[in-house]
Chains A and B, each alone.
Chain A
Amino acid sequence: MRAYLWLIPLLPLLGVLINAWFGHRLPRRVSGAVACLVVFGSFVLGVAALIRLIGMPPGQRIIYHKLFPWISTGGFESAVALMYDPLSAVMVCVVTGVGFLIHVYSLGYMAHDPRYPRFFAYMNLFTFAMLMLVLADNFLLMFVGWEGVGLCSYLLIGFWFERKSASDAGMKAFIVNRVGDFGFLLGMMFIFAVFGSLRFHDVFKQVAADPATLTLTVTGICLLLFVGATGKSAQIPLYVWLPDAMEGPTPVSALIHAATMVTAGVYMVARCWIMFLNAPLALTVVACIGALTALFAATIALVQNDIKRVLAYSTISQLGYMFMACGAGVFAAGVFHLMTHAFFKALLFLGAGSVMHAMSDDTDIRRMGGLMKWLPVTGVTFWVGTLAISGIPPFSGFFSKDEIIWSSLAGPMGSWVFWVFGVVTAALTAFYMARLTFKVFHGQPRMSGEQKHHLHESPPSMAWVLILLAVGASLAGFLNIPPAIAHLLHLPERWTAAFTNFLEPSVGTHEQAVYLLEASVGGSQIGFAKLAHGLQHNAALEFGLMGITLALAAGAILTGRWMYVSRPGTGTALARKLPFLFRTLQNKYYLDEFYKAVIVRPGMALGNALWRGFDVLVIEGIVNGIAIATAIISRLFRVFQTGYVRNYAAGILAGAILIIWVLMR
């Protein structure tokens, strides 16, 4: 078993080396095939390991494999060591599975790009880094993947680097991520200072053993780590990079900025569940940030006109959902949504790519419409994605989103406030997705004649990927049927909440969460007077709340149809009535401008002031001032240097006579 765990990340690395060194000499077919095959190889290995994991007793589902020591010196130890547990397994399968499909899609999508091998080298490098992130058995190695995916994101966003906007976006992504990484780095130092190790196992064991006394410390650590998560997973206040990241090729948006990399923050929080549950304050922060981001990004998505940007804001919003679930103390729900989201958001992005492919790379939905006629496969699969993300049964999003909304109320840290945020966001999600889908695929065609002439369905390699992802997006939800529904349908025990049960060894059970929280609150003075013990599974309440959500979502979709198909002018009219709100939303609440005014410009001004003001004027002034002072003093003595030999000789003679006179006196 151990023997091939290391092959999972190694295979994509091999692909990188092949495509980076020989890529330009290989035929395109081979170069693309290599890239896809290595990812597929990893997928097969990941599934094999998963099967092996399921075969083990639930309490022992974990495989360690230490490869070699890494930075170990002066009492600090860290190794390149891998770990495969249910959480890693889910992530590995999502990353390689969805990743493989996106690789295959890219074969067609990138077919005409001159830098074809480079693209696949980057994609494989990303897969490698992401696998390191999820397979790491210590924080430091996780950080390798963490920065590695950031790098690949930078490279791939700026893949068409000739475009200024693309290279700007890449740089912005990297730098904003680095701000998050700064927090992550500090968090790791804090962990080592307190626990003397960075291995998950060592750290969590200590926290679990003594939650009461550690709370204050762990709260600090968790908040620092969460700064990292806000950067990587595009949460308030560091979400600004993700919408711009849409400058990258669409498969990149699907793989990195929807399905995998941006979920790394959620993964990290879930991985550190013991620590977060030991820090109720941090958990509250996570939930609040998540809830706010979910709502906030959804409102922006309402008015965007770029097909990819709508999806980008939707991604931010969905990530907010995941954090909200984690913050409510139900990590399994967050991870479950992570998985279903990977399917339907990859599907939506790839569908958008297919639309752009047909529309000659136009992304403005105001120039689309009625595309269902020309792109039936894309249209139908896009509808599957829309229904899934809107939470319409039986598509996967229904199960995962319902789980989250229920958890935000019933979880150990749940609250009505979070539930309200969740439901409102669900309605908004359904509405903007309906707006997008109706505007693109239905109604009157609004594209130019030129574009209309070129409209065509994507090649089979792309279409098949869409179909496969649509199947995933439809069925993935059945992995985790809520107990209430299972009970209603008299499903067998092993069908009930199968995914949650599988994850439990990695992210804990409800009882464990309550236990940890009680210990933390009891031992600290953070001020949680009364801890919500969570609501019991109350079928009536659950169905009632589910009904509210569903009704809102369905209503939103119908409203979308009414506004954008039946009465196409309504949206514009509404915007004209509320110009201030509309403009604020369209400009994303002016956060980019705010950062530019508060951080970027002052930073540059400070640099300039330090350079031209301090370095050149003050320091150089002192240095050159000393030189000038020396020159002025020496000018006094210049008159003695006439340059005539005889003057010097006379001086020597006079001096000699003087000395002799003194000696003879």
Chain B
Amino acid sequence: MQEFYNRSILTVLTFLPMVAALLILLMPRGAVIAIRGFALAAALVNLALSVPLFFLFRSAEAGMQFELQVPWVYLSGQPAITYHVGIDGISLFMVLLTTFLSAIAIAGSFGGIRTREREYYALMLFLEAGMAGVFVALDLVLFYTFWEAMLIPMYFIIGVWGGQRRIYAAVKFFLYTMIGSLLMLVAILVLVWLNYQHTGVRTFDILQLSAVPMTRAAQNLLFLAFGLAFAIKVPMFPFHTWLPDAHVEAPTAGSVILAGVLLKMGTYGFLRFCLPLFPEASAAFAPLLIALAIIGIIYGALVALVQPDMKKLVAYSSVSHLGVAVLGIFVFTLQGMMGGMVQMISHGLSTGALFLCVGMIYERRHTREISEFGGIWAVMPKYGALLIMVTLASIGLPFMSGFVGEWLVFLGSWLANPWYAVFAATGVILSACYMLWMIQRVLQGEITHEQNRGLKDLNLREMAVLVPLVAGTIWIGVYPKPVLDRIEPSLARIQEIVAPAQPFAEDPAGPMSFRGVRDEESPPARTSQTYERQVVVQPRDSSHRVRNDNPAAHRVRNDSPMSFRGVRDEESPPAQTSGAPNNAPQESGR
């Protein structure tokens, strides 16, 4: 039974929504209740099916789990393209986020979607299938297919059920993403061709492609091609302008999915493709990406500060928050990367909830202008309480998920270079400014508009949609260990590939040489399942770092006054503090 689950679950998660979507299209147009119920049931079944993944996932392993590989297309007798799915710690949570947010988004649409409901729910389920496919695919063709396929339902969801300028927003979203992904398609083909040149094997399998030797120029170009696709998707600073338009025009559930899952495909892509496939190029471009990420953090926050539209405010806050995630990924310290990953999950939950909150008052008032509200906490106490909790999760209050991610990212970037952390952490102040100011203008004060006096508080369905999200952020905030433990080995493996990579500094034979040197140093088989867990503390070697290697020096001197009372040993020696300072300093992080 479990064997069957292990092999088939990812396929089921991907195609079950697709089947459900087709079935919905067969239902009569008018059976709205049945359509809604069926769509929600399908999403819930998918969610229920995905939950065991979390428990069955073997957290000590870095490699792929729940794998299934079936030959698909043969090229000269070799199964070049395969149906290959599998998840590691990174994609596990992306898949869970997908199933979770899809169910929430579908349940959250009942109030807002009043036209063409059959097509809407079918598209939502198609979207879920596409997103799940992107995260489980381990074959580049399969990945690219899902990556593109998922654009179509999103395009229609924005373009059909959106607001005033929906066509503009939908086309902009589509074209923007397409530009990136077409370059990525070219890069995929080049990568496969390079691999063929080198090994004589035609394959699109991600795991097999991860050690393709290539010239510096080729690696840089491929990194840029992949990176542009992902940077647009994230979206990183200069490529972000599609996001506010798409968010403002999209229906609530569309925004939830867009912010919660679609944007994560960018950061996921960086982790899955850019870093392991092109480590030297990643190292070479890391300063640029870090700079863009930090600019994005501050820029997004400052622009969010002055937005008159709630949804736009949340959209720009996404630019800021995902800047934090990208920063964490590209500082190449394990803490930073872990933080980036947690930030992705956390942002999915908290921003999803924020968009739902905005949608809920939009359904009541048909406006999102902040100035149209004011004082509605008095008439909607439950809404006020939940909005405040969601906001706090978003601004990274401790014991909420945002803090875990932000703290780890800032810590990781401090270890890489303290200035990164100094600039990035200003986002902590700015996020409080724009979020609390919005809270003040929406919830607090006197009721300024008479229409707001009669607003109904949240009903049971709306509570049921929001409360799980809030509970999720608190869970990750208070007890993130299960999450962190599952992610760490997979990220550590990527970090081991990337962190020692020098930006082509040691290329002995000039710019055109293959990168043979690095391969000897790096772990022999990156796909091996026997990853031994290492605790990597990478404190940076810098002038302020004063660490005595002699353990005896840390013993309290008996003749000093500090020995009698100042510091006492506690009852249990701190065995769990692994980065014990008197260890010999390990290799520096970068």
Residues of A participating in the B interface, judged by any CB pair closer than 8 Å: 20, 58-60, 62, 64, 66, 68-77, 79, 140, 143-144, 147-148, 151, 154-155, 158, 161-164, 166-168, 170-171, 174-175, 178-179, 181-182, 185-186, 188-190, 192-197, 199, 201-202, 204-206, 208-210, 213-214, 216-217, 220, 274, 504-505, 508-509, 511-512, 515-516, 603-604, 606-608, 610-611, 615, 619-620, 623, 627
**Chain B residues positioned under 8 Å from A210 (CB to CB):** 546, 548, 553-554
**Chain B residues positioned under 8 Å from A192 (CB to CB):** 411, 414-415
**Taking the nearest CB of chain A, how far is it from the CB of B527, in angstroms?**
22
Interface centre among A154, A189, A217, A606 (most CB of B within 10 A): A189
**Chain A residue nearest to B585 in the complex (CB):** A196
**Chain B residues positioned under 8 Å from A185 (CB to CB):** 407, 410, 425, 428
Interface centre among B397, B426, B538, B576 (most CB of A within 10 A): B576
**Chain A residue nearest to B581 in the complex (CB):** A196
Which of B38-46, B128-136, B562-570 lies at the binding interface?
B562-570
Q: For A73, give its contact among B432, B445, B488, B564 (CB under 8 Å).
A: B488
User: A75-B537, A75-B579, A196-B539 are known contacts; what are 7 more A-B pairs with Cβ within 8 Å?
Assistant: A74-B492, A76-B579, A77-B579, A161-B378, A167-B444, A209-B554, A217-B544
**Chain B residues positioned under 8 Å from A143 (CB to CB):** 398
* B459 in contact (CB, < 8 A): no
Q: How large is the interface on B (under 10, 10 to 19, 20 to 34, 35 or more residues)?
A: 35 or more
Can you list 20 contacts pairing A with B, beta carbon distance less than 8 Å? A64-B571, A70-B479, A74-B333, A147-B398, A174-B432, A178-B428, A182-B425, A186-B422, A189-B411, A192-B414, A199-B577, A202-B581, A208-B562, A208-B567, A209-B553, A210-B548, A274-B566, A515-B562, A607-B303, A619-B240
**Chain B residues positioned under 8 Å from A148 (CB to CB):** 397-399
Interface centre among A70, A71, A206 (most CB of B within 10 A): A71
Residues of B participating in the A interface, judged by any CB pair closer than 8 Å: 172, 175-176, 238, 240-242, 299, 302-307, 333-335, 337-338, 375, 377-378, 385, 388, 392, 397-399, 403-404, 407-408, 410-412, 414-415, 418, 421-422, 425-426, 428-429, 432-433, 436-437, 440, 443-446, 478-481, 484-485, 487-488, 491-492, 535-540, 544-548, 553-557, 560-562, 564-568, 570-572, 574, 576-581
> Would you call A59 and B399 a contact (CB within 8 A)?
no
Q: Bound complex: CA of A170 vs CA of B172, how far in Å? A: 40
Q: Bound complex: CA of A181 vs CA of B410, how far in Å? A: 13
**Chain B residue nearest to A519 in the complex (CB):** B560
> Would you call B578 and A509 a contact (CB within 8 A)?
no
**Chain A residues positioned under 8 Å from B407 (CB to CB):** 71, 140, 185
> Would you call A511 and B418 a contact (CB within 8 A)?
no
**Chain A residues positioned under 8 Å from B404 (CB to CB):** 71
> Would you call B579 and A196 a contact (CB within 8 A)?
yes
Q: Bound complex: CA of A505 vs CA of B418, how far in Å? A: 34
Q: Bound complex: CA of A164 vs CA of B446, how far in Å? A: 8
Q: Bound complex: CA of A604 vs CA of B305, how far in Å? A: 7
Interface centre among B375, B557, B580, B581 (most CB of A within 10 A): B581
Q: For A194, give its contact among B338, B484, B546 (CB under 8 Å).
A: B546
- The answer to whether residues A182 and B334 also contact, given A162-B446, A208-B567 and a CB cut-off of 8 A, is no
Q: Bound complex: CA of A170 vs CA of B432, how far in Å? A: 12
**Chain B residues positioned under 8 Å from A140 (CB to CB):** 407
Q: Bound complex: CA of A202 vs CA of B554, how far in Å? A: 10
- The answer to whether residues A69 and B553 also contact, given A186-B422, A608-B306 and a CB cut-off of 8 A, is no
**Chain A residues positioned under 8 Å from B484 (CB to CB):** 71-73
Q: Bound complex: CA of A627 vs CA of B168, how far in Å? A: 12
Q: Bound complex: CA of A193 vs CA of B588, how far in Å? A: 12
**Taking the nearest CB of chain A, how far is it from the CB of B176, in angstroms?**
8
- The answer to whether residues A603 and B305 also contact, given A208-B562, A505-B568, A508-B566 and a CB cut-off of 8 A, is yes
**Chain B residues positioned under 8 Å from A220 (CB to CB):** 544
- The answer to whether residues A162 and B375 also contact, given A59-B568, A151-B392, A182-B429 and a CB cut-off of 8 A, is yes
> Would you call A171 and B564 a contact (CB within 8 A)?
no
**Taking the nearest CB of chain B, how far is it from the CB of A99, in angstroms?**
20
**Chain A residues positioned under 8 Å from B421 (CB to CB):** 186, 189
Number of contacts between A and B (CB, 8 Å)? Answer: 251
Interface centre among A144, A163, A167, A606 (most CB of B within 10 A): A167
Q: Bound complex: CA of A504 vs CA of B484, how far in Å? A: 39
Q: For B546, give its contact among A181, A214, A511 (CB under 8 Å).
A: A214
**Chain B residue nearest to A77 in the complex (CB):** B577
- The answer to whether residues A60 and B568 also contact, given A196-B537, A619-B241 and a CB cut-off of 8 A, is yes
> Would you call B307 and A611 a contact (CB within 8 A)?
yes
**Chain B residues positioned under 8 Å from A508 (CB to CB):** 565-566
Q: Bound complex: CA of A401 vs CA of B309, how far in Å? A: 53
**Chain B residues positioned under 8 Å from A66 (CB to CB):** 572
Q: Bound complex: CA of A140 vs CA of B557, how far in Å? A: 29
**Taking the nearest CB of chain B, how far is it from the CB of A247, in angstroms?**
12
> Would you call B302 and A193 a contact (CB within 8 A)?
no
**Taking the nearest CB of chain A, how far is it from the CB of B127, in angstroms?**
25
> Would you call A206 and B554 a contact (CB within 8 A)?
yes
> Would you call B574 and A201 a contact (CB within 8 A)?
yes
**Taking the nearest CB of chain B, how far is it from the CB of A54, in angstroms?**
16
Q: Please name the 3 residue pairs, one residue from A and one from B, whose CB atoms are nearest each other, closest first.
A: A74-B334, A75-B537, A167-B444
**Chain B residues positioned under 8 Å from A516 (CB to CB):** 562
> Would you call B429 and A175 a contact (CB within 8 A)?
yes
> Would you call A74 and B553 a contact (CB within 8 A)?
no
Q: Bound complex: CA of A161 vs CA of B446, how far in Å? A: 8
